[in-house]
């Protein structure tokens, strides 16, 4: 007598045998206690495993995820990559999203960048002034000074400003971004020298401990400059690790938007 | 079916699958979102079954990519939990419960492929679909699933229960 094996019995339970195979298996099971016991054991193991694994389940964050995914696919729409489907069908098809809006955004960004790059332009002057004010408020130093870490704001001091920069003397370096709006862009740039910088609109900056800096409530683009010399650092965004630096190893675990050898961008979800 | 309909219908199952694989709701959400974005970017079209299979296969690859980062992430989380001042710890009591820990340990005992296969089956994939996803013979799927369940229950159940010849 040829006994049934685990795979055949599992397939029988899963209704994955064809009619002939299933019929033959049932005939065998009717006269073979050994296989019948094995079938019962496999069935019990299956029930145990299914029930146990279901314990892991948590509610899916569908609403937020839906918004985030739609925002991302709309932002990545491209007429050259995504031609309009020629005809609707029951198959999955995609419509082009918001190309006009995207083009407008690109034009605005280009104009802003151009204005900021022009010496003597009002935009450039405003950006420089905001940065300088930020450094002063954060560090308590005079404009133009290059404060060391020890001269930075004391714990808890806050400033509603555009950016700060500081000397990195304490490691590990922890940069914690909290209450960052979904859709914001976090750009981490690895720079020469020993000075780090944080900047972003509508954000508050503060140092909460040696080597630990918080950015709260930012939106749009938040820029972080990290010196290449830093060997132990991590970036947290809304309670999640986005980036760790461990010696020469850099692990980007956040939702990467773009990456180059000098810069990693994350899109906050 | 348009993209949003696909998302609405398939997101919960894909998220559940990723969460069961990774044990981390945030990572599962990330991977699920990334999978749908890729679906859109790559214009994967066809029957619902085909799209669903593509989504799960892609998610499996993304989970594998993240797997190597998990140890480092866990080490950091355990060694230095960082939360913004004034933020309360999230309520993840269920996930941290004893039962959850036992399930995770038992799942981690499985080979990656066995775990991925078993969870795919629990998402309702047929043997044929599983065989295609992992490039194995459909006839071997039952054996692989039975083996995975046996190992899982052996690790999960208290000693003395569900002992078998394996």
Q: For chain B, which domains are there?
A: 1-82 (no CATH), 92-159 (1.10.10)
Query: Could you tell me if A146 and A28 lie in one domain?
Result: no
Residue A36: predicted pLDDT: 95
Query: Could you tell me if A166 and A35 lie in one domain?
Result: no
Residue A255: predicted pLDDT: 85
Q: What is the mean pLDDT of residues A195-218?
A: 79
pLDDT at A152 over 50: no
Residue A34: predicted pLDDT: 95
E strands in B32-110: none
Contact A55 B99 (CB under 8 A): yes
pLDDT in tens, A14-55: 999 999 999 999 999 999 999 999 999 999 999 999 999 998
Which residues of B fall within a CB distance of 8 Å from A95?
2-3
B84 closest CB neighbour out of A46, A61, A176: A176
Q: Which of A110, A115, A267, A118 is nearest to A183 (CA)?
A: A267
Give the highest mean pLDDT range of A140-149, B34-43, B60-69, B86-95: B34-43
Query: Could you tell me if A167 and A252 lie in one domain?
Result: yes
Pairing of strands A173-178, A212-216: parallel
Question: Which of the four pLDDT bands, split at 50, 70 and 90, describes residue A125?
Answer: low
Residue B90: predicted pLDDT: 47
Q: Between the CA of residue B25 and those of A211, A212, A230, B6, what are the distances in Å?
A: 29, 26, 30, 21
* Domains identified in chain A, total number: 2
Within a domain: A32: yes
**Which tokens is A228 given?**
């290449």
**Percentage of chain A lying above the pLDDT 70 cut:** 65
A11 closest CB neighbour out of B85, B127, B152: B127
Which of A79-93, A120-134, A174-188 is least confident?
A: A79-93
DSSP string of A162-227, one letter each residue: EEEEEE--SSSEEEEEESPPTT-EEEEEEESSSEEEEEEEEEEEEEEETTEEEEES-EEEEEEEEE
Please say whether the beta carbons of A179 and A143 come within 8 A: no
As beta bridge partners, residue A98 has: none
Residue A105: predicted pLDDT: 54
Question: Which of the four pLDDT bands, split at 50, 70 and 90, describes residue A70?
Answer: confident
Query: Could you tell me if A138 and A227 lie in one domain?
Result: yes
Residue B56: predicted pLDDT: 95
Residue A80: predicted pLDDT: 33
Within a domain: A16: yes
Residue A212: predicted pLDDT: 76
Query: Could you tell me if A141 and A248 lie in one domain?
Result: yes
Residue A48: predicted pLDDT: 92
Which of A72-76, A137-141, A166-170 is least confident?
A: A137-141
Query: Could you tell me if A130 and A45 lie in one domain?
Result: no
Query: Could you tell me if A144 and A253 lie in one domain?
Result: yes
Decide which of A36, A52, A68 is a domain's last residue: A52
Please indicate if any CB of chain A lies within 8 Å of the CB of B44.
yes
Q: What is the mean pLDDT of residues B123-142?
A: 94
Within a domain: A124: yes
Minimum distance, in Å, between the CA of residue B149 and any CA atom of chain A: 6
pLDDT in tens, B11-54: 999 999 999 998 888 889 989 999 999 999 888 888 888 999 99
As beta bridge partners, residue A233 has: A173, A245
Residue B158: predicted pLDDT: 57
Best residue of B153, B158, B165, B166 to probe chain A, by most A CBs closer than 10 Å:
B153
B84 closest CB neighbour out of A10, A66, A216: A216
pLDDT at A82 over 50: no
Question: Which of the four pLDDT bands, split at 50, 70 and 90, describes residue A159?
Answer: very low
Query: Could you tell me if A118 and A215 lie in one domain?
Result: yes
Predicted complex ipTM: 0.79
Whether a cis peptide bond, with omega within 30° of 0, leads into A212 is no
Within a domain: A72: no
CA dist., res. A171 & res. A158, Å (int):
22
Query: Could you tell me if A246 and A124 lie in one domain?
Result: yes
Give the highest mean pLDDT range of A201-205, B92-96, B102-106: B102-106
Residue B68: predicted pLDDT: 56
Minimum distance, in Å, between the CA of residue A268 and any CA atom of chain B: 10
CA dist., res. A225 & res. A77, Å (int):
29
pLDDT at A104 over 90: no
- B85: three-class secondary structure by DSSP: coil
As beta bridge partners, residue A174 has: A212, A234
Gyration radius from chain B CA atoms: 18
Query: Could you tell me if A155 and A45 lie in one domain?
Result: no
Which of A12-21, A135-144, A243-252, B103-112 is least confident?
A: A135-144
Within a domain: A75: no
Find where tokens 């013979």 sit.
B137
Q: What is the mean pLDDT of residues A122-147?
A: 42
CA dist., res. B144 & res. B43, Å (int):
33
Within a domain: A22: yes
Within a domain: A158: yes
Chain B contacts in chain A segment 128-147 (CB below 8 A): none
Within a domain: A98: no
How many CB pairs below 8 Å do chains A and B form together? 195
Minimum distance, in Å, between the CA of residue B137 and any CA atom of chain A: 12
Q: Which residue has the higher pLDDT, B88 or B96?
A: B96
Residue B127: predicted pLDDT: 96
Please say whether the beta carbons of B145 and B38 come within 8 A: no
Question: Which of the four pLDDT bands, split at 50, 70 and 90, describes residue A121?
Answer: low
Q: What is the mean pLDDT of residues B110-125?
A: 94
Please indicate if any CB of chain B lies within 8 Å of the CB of A63.
no
Domain coverage including residue A48: 7-52
pLDDT at A75 over 90: no
Angle between helices B25-41 and B3-22 (to 10 degrees): 140
Query: Could you tell me if A260 and A168 lie in one domain?
Result: yes
pLDDT at A95 over 80: no
**What's the mean pLDDT when you consider all of chain A?**
72
Query: Could you tell me if A41 and A142 lie in one domain?
Result: no
Q: Which residues contact B153 (CB under 8 A, 6 or more apart)?
A: A45, A48, A49, A52, B106, B162
Largest CA distance in chain B: 56
**Percentage of chain A lying above the pLDDT 90 cut:** 21
Burial string for B20-48 (b: 16+ CB within 10 Å, else e) reads bbbbbbbbbbbbbbbbbbbbbbeebbeee
Please say whether the beta carbons of A168 and A191 come within 8 A: no
């Amino acid at each position: 007598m040829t006994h049934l094996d685990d795979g055949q019995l599992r397939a029988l339970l899963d209704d994955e045998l064809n009619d002939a195979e299933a019929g033959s298996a049932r005939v065998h099971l009717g006269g073979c206690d050994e296989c019948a016991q094995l079938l019962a054991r496999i069935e019990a193991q299956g029930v145990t495993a299914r029930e146990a694994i279901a314990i892991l389940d948590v509610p899916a964050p569908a609403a937020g995820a839906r918004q985030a995914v739609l925002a991302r696919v709309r932002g990545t729409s491209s007429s050259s990559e995504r031609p309009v489907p020629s005809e609707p069908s029951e198959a999955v098809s995609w419509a082009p999203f918001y190309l006009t809006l995207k083009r407008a955004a690109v034009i605005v960004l280009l104009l802003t960048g151009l204005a900021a790059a022009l010496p003597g332009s009002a935009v450039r002057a405003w950006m420089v002034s905001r940065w300088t004010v930020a450094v002063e408020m954060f560090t308590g130093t005079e404009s133009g000074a290059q404060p060391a870490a020890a001269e930075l704001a004391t714990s808890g001091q806050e400033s509603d400003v555009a950016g700060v920069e500081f000397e990195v003397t304490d490691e590990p370096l922890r940069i914690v971004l909290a209450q960052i709006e979904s859709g914001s862009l976090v750009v981490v740039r690895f720079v020469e020298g020993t000075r780090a910088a944080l900047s972003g609109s509508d954000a508050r900056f503060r140092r909460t401990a040696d080597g630990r800096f918080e950015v709260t409530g930012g939106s749009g683009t938040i820029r972080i400059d990290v010196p290449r010399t830093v060997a132990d650092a991590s970036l947290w965004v809304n309670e999640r690790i986005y980036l760790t630096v461990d010696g020469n190893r850099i692990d980007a675990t956040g939702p990467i938007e773009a990456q180059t050898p000098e810069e990693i961008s994350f899109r906050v979800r | 079916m348009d993209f949003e309909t696909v998302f609405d219908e398939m997101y919960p199952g894909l998220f559940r699958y990723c969460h069961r694989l990774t044990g981390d709701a945030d990572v599962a959400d990330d991977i699920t979102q990334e999978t749908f974005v890729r679906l859109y970017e790559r214009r994967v079209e066809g029957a619902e079954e085909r799209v669903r299979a593509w989504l799960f296969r892609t998610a499996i690859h993304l989970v594998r990519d993240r797997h190597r980062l998990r140890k480092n992430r866990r080490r950091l989380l355990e060694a230095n939990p960082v939360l913004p001042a004034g933020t309360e710890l999230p309520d993840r009591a269920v996930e941290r419960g004893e039962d959850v820990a036992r399930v995770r340990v038992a799942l981690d005992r499985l080979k990656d492929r066995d775990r991925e296969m078993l969870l795919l089956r629990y998402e309702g994939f047929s043997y044929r679909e599983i065989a295609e996803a992992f490039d194995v013979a459909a006839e071997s799927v039952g054996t692989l699933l039975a083996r995975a369940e046996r190992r899982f229950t052996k690790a999960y159940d208290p000693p003395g229960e569900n002992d078998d010849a394996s």
